[in-house]
Amino acid sequence: MDERSTTLSRLKSSFDTRRAYISAKLGTLVPSQIRALRTKSDMPRQADLARASEMLQSRISVLETPGAANATLDTLSRIAAAFKVGVIVKFVPFSEMLAWENSFSQDQFDVIKIDQDAQFLAASAGPGSSMAMVSIPAESQGYLFIGLANRTTYREGFCNPMVPASIVTQPTGAASSFFQ
C-alpha cells in the first residue's frame, strides 16, 4: 500500500486523522488570510489591526502564526469586522477543502470592503440569487472550512470565493474526486 493509500485509509477510518488534517488546513489558511488582508489594508502593522479589532498585538501575532487554528468565532468576527469584510464558516466535502487550499494564494487574496461592496450596498439577496445556486449532496462527507469573504468576489454563481474557477457544477456524476 503506497503512502497516499495509507493516508486515505486513515482519513476514512480515523477521527483523529481527519481532525488533524482539517486542523492543519485551517491552521495554515486562516492565518495566511489574516496576514494577506492586513498587509494589503490601511493598517499594515499588527498593532494597527490589534487596535481596530480590540485585541492585543501579541494575539494578532499568534493568530498569524501557522498552526494557531484555535481562533474562536468571536475572534474571527472581530478580525473580519476590523477589515470591514464578512466571514464564512461552512462545512464542505474534503475535496472542496483541498481545492480551497490548492487555489489559495496569499499574494492574490483580497476582499472588497463594505464601503466598496456595491452589490451589498445596493440590494439584498433574494430568491434566485447566487446564494442559492449550489447544493451539496447529502451524502457528502462535510467538513468545516473558514474563509474571510465578500459576496462580490463570487464567481460563476458560487457563494464561496475560495472555490477556484476550476470547480464546476454538474447535474450528475461524482461528487468528489478526492477519493479517486
Partner 1 sequence: MQNRIKVILSSPTYFWSFADYVEGRQNPIENWYSGELSEDARFQFDSLVKNTAKIENHLQWGGFKFLSGKPKKYSIWQLDFIADRRQYRVLGIFQPGRRAVLLEGCYHKGKIYTPQGALETACKRAKNLMEKRATTVGRKIDDTF
Question: How far is residue 64's CA from residue 12's CA, in Å, rounded to a whole number?
Answer: 30
Which residue, 122 or 168, is less far from partner 1 as judged by CB? 168
In one-letter notation, the amino acid at residue 110 is: D
Query: Residue 160: is it exposed, middle or buried by C-beta count within 10 angstroms (0-12/13-18/19+)?
Result: buried
Distance of CA 167 to the CA centre of its chain: 15
Nearer to partner 1, 27 or 86 (CB): 27
Q: In the bound complex, what is the minimum distance in angstroms from residue 138's beta carbon to partner 1?
A: 8
Given the complex with partner 1, which of 64 and 117 has the nearer CB atom?
64
Q: In whole angstroms, what separates CA 43 from the centre of its chain?
A: 22
Cα 156 to Cα 163: distance, rounded to the nearest angstrom: 10
Identify which of residues 82 and 163 has a Cβ nearer to partner 1 in the complex.
163
Nearer to partner 1, 63 or 149 (CB): 63
Min separation Cβ 43 and partner 1, Å: 16
Give me the least distance between CB of 105 and partner 1, in Å please. 5
Q: Which three cell numbers stand for residue 132?
A: 442559492
Beta bridge partners of 142: 93
Give the whole-angstrom CA distance, residue 150 versus residue 112: 6
- The footprint of partner 1 (CB under 8 A) covers 4, 7, 16-17, 20-21, 23-25, 27-29, 31-32, 35, 39, 64-68, 93, 95-96, 98-99, 101-107, 133-137, 164, 166-178
For residue 152, the minimal CB distance to partner 1 (Å) is 22
Residue 93 · residue 175 · CB < 8 Å: yes
Question: Residue 99 Cβ, how far from partner 1 at the closest point, in Å?
Answer: 5
